[in-house]
Structure formats: structure tokens, C-alpha cells
Amino acid sequence: MHITQLNRECLLHLFSFLDKNSRKNLAKTCHKLLEVFQDPLLWSLLNFHSPAELKKDNFLLGPALKYLSICWYSERVKVCNIEDWMKNTFQKDFCNRHENTVSEFLLEVCNRCPNLLSLTLSGCGHVTDDCILLLLKNCPHLKTLKLENCVRITDQTLEAVTLYGASLQTLHVDFCRNITQTGLERVREKRPWVRLRAERSANMIPDSKPEKKLMLEKASRKLVQV
């Protein structure tokens, strides 16, 4: 039996075992397999391992998407985690290449994937509070939100969870150094049923610009003199 003689259900099941590139390559062989590739039911789960993968045309975004993961564990993630005012020219150029890549992709998710249930972001150093806020508003069924090493995430995201995370059951904000204990306590107060985890976050040293650090040092000196 030729593969194209299988019914739609069997072909979808077969495609489900393939990675995104393999699905795309198989879809190029005939119109019937291309139709299977374009079936939204095939794309309920998406995993990405670098920002570059988000720009490929080997996947589809649609209302069937329920589970999304973007996890970047490359050594280059360290560059994105450096405070902007401390980056040299080379580091700034590197970040500029993909600074908005993940955020723009998540905006597409907001517009196309209202049934999203789970989102995991790891090493996405350029994702902002505003982006997570929009996602919480546009994906009201979101049950799991896991953020790891997302350095631009602050208490504003935690506040958005209290306002728009009615369906949220699990929230991880690990290694997000710019959130505070106050923000975490507010989530616990407003959403007590949420399973909250903040490993190495609120106890880490938050970012502060040099001029702010100088003001704090001057204030400390005045207190000592008094």
C-alpha cells in the first residue's frame, strides 16, 4: 500500500511522530500530504529550541494550538541577560538581530491561538511584561505559564496574572531576577489556588541603572552621617 492510500486519520497520526522539518519535507511530495500538513489538528503542540526556529515556515499557528514551548539553552543566552547599559557594541549588535523575534511571535500567538493552555519560555531575555499581559488577555484558557531566566519580566507580569489569569493553575517564574517578594505575595493573596514557584528569583539582585545605584549610595551615606 502506498502512503497516500491511507485515510486522513492515519496520515495525521503518522505525521504526529515527525519533527517540523520532516513534516514539511514530506508535505512537498504531493498535494494530499500537503493538505495533511496544513490540517490545524496536527499543530496542537509546538516546541522551539532557538529564536531562529520561529522564523521558519515549517509549522502552522492556529486555534488548535494548546501547548507552546520556546526554550533556548544556548550559551548565547547570557548575552541577552546582560543589562542593556553594560553591553558592548558587539553584544548590542547580537541582541538586535533577535530582540523582537520572540515577542513578535507571541503577538501572533495572541491573535491566532485563543485556546492556548500552556506556555513555557526559557532563556527568552527580550520578552517583556507587556507581551505577557497581552497573552493573558487574549488566551483566557491558559492554565500553565512557566517563565525561566526571562530577565525583563517584573512584578507587572505578576500583577497581570492577578487581573487576567482567571484560568491559571500553575505559575513558574524561576531565575527572573527583576520580580520581588512583594509581587509574589500579591499573587498568593489574589490567586491562592495557583501553584506558584519562584526558584532563585525574588532573592536575586534586581537590575538597576547606574544613576539609580548612585542615588541609593548617596542616600546610604546620608543615613550613616545622621
Q: How confident is the model at residue 170 (pLDDT cuts 50, 70, 90)?
A: very high
Residue at 12 is within a domain: no
Residue at 9 is within a domain: no
| Domain of residue 203, CATH code | 3.80.10
Residue at 24 is within a domain: no
Q: How confident is the model at residue 195 (pLDDT cuts 50, 70, 90)?
A: very high
Residue at 211 is within a domain: yes
pLDDT, position 162: 96
The DSSP result for the chain, as a single string, is --GGGS-HHHHHHHHHTS-HHHHHHHHTT-HHHHHHHT-GGGGSEEEESSGGGGG-SS---STT--EEEEE--STTHHHHTS-GGG--HHHHHHHHHHTTHHHHHHHHHHHH-TT--EEEEES-TT--HHHHHHHHHH-TT--EEEEES-TT--HHHHHHHHHH-TT--EEEEET-TT--HHHHHHHHHH-TTSEEE-TTSTTSPPP--HHHHHHHHHHHHHHHH-
Residue at 36 is within a domain: no
Residue at 79 is within a domain: yes
Structural domain span for residue 165 = 43-223
Residue at 28 is within a domain: no
pLDDT, position 50: 85
34-73 residue pLDDT tens: 999 999 999 999 999 988 899 899 999 999 999 999 998 7
Residue at 20 is within a domain: no
Domain count, the chain: 1
